[in-house]
């Protein structure tokens, strides 16, 4: 099974350059026009980058040979500037990524590579179903790594003024990877932003966390699954993965629950139990001191989750609560668990940026401060929604559902 993955930045790339600005937003940066660069300017930029790489310790031979083959990729600039017009609902996000086909393939991969995955677990503490889940979400179990030349993509972005410093660092790291013999330059392919291999590591993450697990003397995240899985485990271990606990769990909330508690605060599991929260099947939660945070990604009509420290580690890989829930839920499904007891509503509105700005302005006009309207559903906007809902005798979950939009006369269109 093979298909093209989303072209938005993710994986360890998201750790560095993406910012999730609220659990409802799939948008990270404002769209900006691409500034064209002429052939002479690009050639001069390449020469500067080549010298910077040599100064940073890349061999002259590697720097010269690779940079001589680098081309400007207009498509990379287009993708870098592109921003989705509409946000992604939690139902759409989760259903696309955690579906029966992916769960079935994940279970097959778990069985086929059990010996390798158990070895990674023994060395890093990361259970095998999580490794499979990351693998599945990043490259659909290695079926699509991206087709962009990483040196050309990174040089294109390094010669673009918007994030030149960051991508210069990534380019130099990529040249160091080539220099060490991990992969030939003409085989170094990945995403438009330079994420590479089975687990989509950025070059700087590769240098710091990639390992040679198969003993062939190379750190090869493209052709060696042992290297890729062990590297993923080492990366998660470095961010503090605790092998004694899971990522979190689906829970049921009692009636008249204060959704203001889903604001990022961490409380012992026993405290959440005392508030009347149960597991997804209505059974009492353990009386335990483990710290947990409540996440309600689709409002009161959707599922609720109590998440633990490993959820924070997953968000170190990709700063999206949607992504972290998808990893955790896919890992559970791969390990044999069933679907969510309370699936997210599929009729939730997918809001455009202009609609979110209109929502923010409508709330501000009614005295509920959201800050400057920016089209991003961040904490201030969710807080304003909760206050408006409470004053309007609605469930104050901070979610911009149809009832809120209708009451404020906000359209979901452009």
Task: State yes or no: pLDDT of 233 exceeds 80.
Answer: yes
- Does residue 275 contact residue 256 with C-beta atoms inside 8 Å? no
**Average pLDDT along the chain:** 91
CB of 395 within 8 A of CB of 259? yes
The model's pTM is 0.89
Binned at pLDDT 50, 70 and 90, residue 11 comes out as low
Half-sphere exposure of 318 (CA within 13 A, CB side): 23
pLDDT for 412 equals 82
The C-alpha angle with vertex 102 and arms to 101 and 108, in degrees rounded to 5, equals: 95
CA-CA distance, 371 to 252, in Å (whole number)?
32
Band (pLDDT 50/70/90 cuts) for residue 10 is low
Lowest mean pLDDT among 9-23, 82-96, 181-195, 356-370: 9-23
Mean pLDDT of 319-339: 97
| pLDDT range class, residue 279, cuts 50, 70, 90 | very high
What is the model's pLDDT at position 370? 94
The whole-number average pLDDT for the span 377-382 is 90
| pLDDT at position 34 | 52
Q: Mean pLDDT check: name the lowest of 84-98, 151-165, 238-252.
A: 84-98
Asked whether residue 33 carries a pLDDT value surpassing 80, the answer given is no
Residue 140: pLDDT band by 50, 70, 90 thresholds?
A: very high
| 407-to-99, 375, 387 alpha-carbon distances in Å | 34, 19, 14
Mean pLDDT of 127-153: 97
Residue of 17 and 341 predicted with greater confidence: 341
């Amino acid at each position: 099974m093979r298909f093209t993955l989303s072209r938005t930045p993710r994986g360890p790339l998201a750790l560095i350059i993406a910012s999730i600005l609220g659990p409802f937003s799939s948008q990270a940066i404002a769209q900006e026009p691409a500034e064209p660069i002429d052939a002479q300017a690009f050639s001069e930029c390449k020469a500067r980058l080549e010298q910077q790489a040599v100064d940073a310790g890349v061999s002259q031979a590697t720097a010269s040979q690779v940079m001589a083959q680098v081309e400007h990729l207009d498509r990379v600039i287009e993708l870098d500037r592109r921003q989705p017009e509409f946000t992604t609902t939690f139902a759409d996000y989760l259903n696309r990524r955690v579906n029966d086909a992916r769960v079935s393939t994940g279970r097959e991969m778990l069985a086929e590579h059990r010996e390798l995955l158990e070895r990674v677990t023994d060395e890093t503490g990361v259970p095998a179903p999580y490794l499979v889940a990351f693998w599945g979400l990043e490259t659909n179990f290695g079926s699509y790594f991206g087709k962009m030349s990483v040196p050309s993509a990174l040089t294109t972005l390094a010669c673009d003024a918007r994030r030149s410093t960051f991508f210069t660092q990534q380019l130099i790291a990529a040249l160091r990877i080539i220099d060490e013999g991990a992969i030939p330059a003409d085989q170094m392919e990945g995403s438009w932003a330079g994420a590479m291999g089975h687990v989509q590591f950025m070059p700087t993450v590769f240098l710091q966390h990639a390992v040679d697990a198969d003993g062939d003397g190379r750190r090869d995240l493209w052709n060696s699954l042992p290297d890729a899985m062990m590297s993923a485990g080492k990366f998660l271990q470095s961010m503090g993965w605790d092998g004694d606990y899971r990522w979190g769990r689906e829970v049921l909330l009692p009636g008249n629950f204060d959704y203001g508690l889903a604001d990022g605060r961490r409380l012992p599991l026993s405290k959440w139990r005392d508030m009347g929260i149960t597991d997804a099947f209505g059974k009492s939660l353990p009386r335990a001191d483990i710290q947990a945070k409540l996440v309600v990604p689709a409002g009161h009509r959707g599922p609720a989750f109590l998440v633990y420290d490993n959820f924070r580690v997953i968000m170190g890989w990709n700063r999206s609560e949607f992504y972290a829930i998808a990893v955790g839920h896919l890992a559970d499904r791969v390990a044999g668990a069933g679907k969510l007891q309370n699936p997210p509503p599929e009729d939730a509105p997918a809001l455009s940026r202009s609609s979110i700005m209109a929502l923010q302005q409508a709330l501000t006009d009614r005295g509920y401060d959201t800050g400057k309207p920016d089209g991003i559903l961040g904490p201030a906007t969710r807080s304003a929604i909760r206050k408006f809902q409470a004053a309007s005798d609605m469930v104050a979950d901070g979610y911009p559902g149809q009832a809120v939009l209708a009451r404020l006369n906000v359209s979901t269109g452009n």
